[in-house]
Amino acid sequence: MAETLEITGVSASPGVAVGPVHLAADVTAEALALGDTMASEGDKLRQAVATALAELEALADRSDEESAGILDFQIEMLLDPALVEMAEERIVAGDGAALAWFGALNDYIADIEQAPDEQLRARAIDIVDIRNRVLSALTGRPLEDFAPGSVFVGKDLEPSLLLQHDWTAGGAIILFEGSVSSHVAMLARSRSVPMVVATGRFKVADGVRVLVDANDGRVVVAPEDQQINKARSRTTEARPTVPSRAGGVIETADGVAIRLSAIVNDPIELKSIDPSSVAGIGLMRTEFLGNVFNQETHYDVYRQALDWAGDAPVIVRMLDLGGDKMELGVGAKESEAFLGRRGIRLLLALPEIARLQARALLRAAAHGNLGVLLPMITVPEELDAMRAIFEEEAAALGRRGVQTRMPEIGMMVEVPAAALMLDRFLRSDFFSFGTNDLAQYLAAAARDDQSVAALYNAATPAVLRVIAQGVALAEAMKKSIGICGEMASDPQHIPALMAAGLRHFSMAPNRLADIRSTIAGMYSDGRAAAEMK
Ligand code: PEP
Ligand code: MG
């Protein structure tokens, strides 16, 4: 039997869980074994092509004659080295495997679509199919999952793995490194998955029982029953008692209306939110959707959200790739991840992806109250460039008779150079503060680095000053402004955010009850209602 061992880390998502350890594969060692980047991108591509081929062959084996014929054509195409060679040329020029494959296949598809021969033109859809199958092998394929109810232990955890895993049977996350402000921590909080980060490396075997007391940032390997009972009894005491089913607009003690909207990271979350309990969706992240290269995936998800919301607004944020989220293998060094090509910068550098998402958004906007949020805007020209993409795509869809509507296009306020100059962004229809990033950029302290977390937190007064100034500028421009960073989920920050003038807050649905009762007990200037008496 394993010996009891207690380890202290930092709580990134509260809660208590007990379960067997699932030890993650050591990705660092694997990554080093891959050798130089260019060779590994080429290898990744060839491996993905081999996976796609195996899938197609298996599919052809169990298909009828007609379908097998179509699949055989796709198999022939994939066996032809020409496609991989076209992508490899792009890898040599610096693209990652996914991007290289996407770009090369798109060029090829565009050529086929222009072909004079009708039969050849009809084959374009097969190439689209091949493109998507290989891409999903490269990017969208779920990573190695683990048994429900177990406790993931590793250096870090991919957001997509957290999202695809079934947490209904319990379980928790322990990261040797990691940070409270990282995306994966944010997702754990929104799913109520207990998580402890920054424990440092410790030795534990697969399958050993651990207690994760994430209320205290504590991990106990091979715990005594008594320790488990004690941790569990404290959780039951801490449960919030406020009902969560109340409207999305709440009044402060002096009668000022405050809007509370949901943040959604995965459409599956909509199933557990009552639409009448929120003022719509204030932020729908799209970077965790799975196959981001597929327009129909985007469109279906947006339609689902709009149908769920009825007349209420649904604000969809365009892909905020880069940083600590999925990157497209475009070669960003780790140190550059947050300061390099991320969000709008990457979208404008990869217009094929931006256009694909714009088309899905334009089509979906015809069916509800859709707004579009642009991530990481620094200068007005970025906003103008994306608007131009929307206008061009709307015109192109219109020529094909596809029904569209131009949505309102607003921007995240998360880069200090933009946050201080909102009056320059006249073409932004609305604004939303992204304080998770604003804090890291103001403090020059990366959000995914727990060793500088104290500095990150120390940026709060600076963040609040920038917010107060931004709210005044937006009001002078008669544009709406809200907040969708994690600060809006923390009752401690609500008084200062109200005092700064914010009236629209977006948060993970499991934070609504707490924030609702906090706001109901205060005046609009942030003072507690009791203080005035
Ligand atoms: C933010 O930066 O505050 C934000 C809401 O966006 P994300 O956390 O996805 O970067
Ligand atoms: Mg952000």
Question: What pLDDT digit, counting tens, does each position of 53-76 carry?
Answer: 988 888 788 766 766 777 888 899
**Residue 469 Cα, ligand 2 centroid: separation in angstroms?**
19
Site of tokens 């109901």 = 520
In the prediction, which pLDDT does 14 show? 93
Amino acid at 39: A
pLDDT band at residue 94 under the 50/70/90 scheme: confident
- The four Cα atoms 191, 194, 195, 201 give a dihedral, to 10 degrees, of -140
Length of the chain: 533
Alpha helices in 80-224, H assignment, sequence order: 81-92, 97-113, 118-122, 124-135, 159-164, 183-190
Ligand 1, atom nearest to 343 Cα: 10
Catalytic annotation present for 22:
no
> What's the rounded Cα separation, in Å, for the pair 292 and 217?
35
- Integer Cα distance of 491 and 5 in angstroms: 34
| Residue 430 reports pLDDT greater than 90 | yes
Phi and psi at residue 230, to the nearest 5°: -65, -45
Give yes or no for residue 287 CB within 6 A of ligand 1. no
Residue range 459-510, pLDDT digits in tens: 999 999 999 999 999 999 999 999 999 999 999 999 999 999 999 999 999 9
Atom index in ligand 1 nearest the CA of residue 433 equals 3
Q: Which of 22, 165, 298, 484 is catalytic?
A: 484
Average pLDDT over residues 198-209: 92
What domains are defined for the chain? 5-25+144-238 (3.50.30.10), 29-139 (1.10.274.10), 246-532 (3.20.20.60)
Give residue 289's pLDDT. Answer: 83
**Strand-strand pairing, 314-317 and 370-374:** parallel
Number of Cβ within a 10 Å radius of residue 305: 22
What is the Cβ-side half-sphere exposure of residue 405, based on CA atoms within 13 angstroms? 11
Mean pLDDT across the chain: 88
d(CA 51, CA 56): 9
Cβ atoms 347, 388 nearer than 8 A: no
CB of 14 within 8 A of CB of 193?
A: no
Question: Which one of 59-63, 114-118, 330-334, 489-493 scores highest in mean pLDDT?
Answer: 489-493
Interval between CA 416 and ligand 1 midpoint (Å): 14
Q: Is the pLDDT of residue 27 over 50?
A: no
Q: Which of 118-132, 222-236, 318-332, 470-484 has the highest mean pLDDT?
A: 470-484
Q: Please provide residue 222's backbone torsions phi and psi, each rounded to the nearest 5 degrees.
A: 50, 60
Distance CA 208, CA 206 (A): 6
State how far the Cα of 317 lies from the Cα of 482, in Å rounded to an integer: 14
Angle, in degrees to the nearest 10, between helices 435-443 and 460-476: 120
- pLDDT recorded at residue 98: 85
Cα 412 to averaged position of ligand 1 atoms, centre (Å): 8
* Helix/strand number for the chain, H first, E second: 21, 17
484 catalytic? Reply is yes
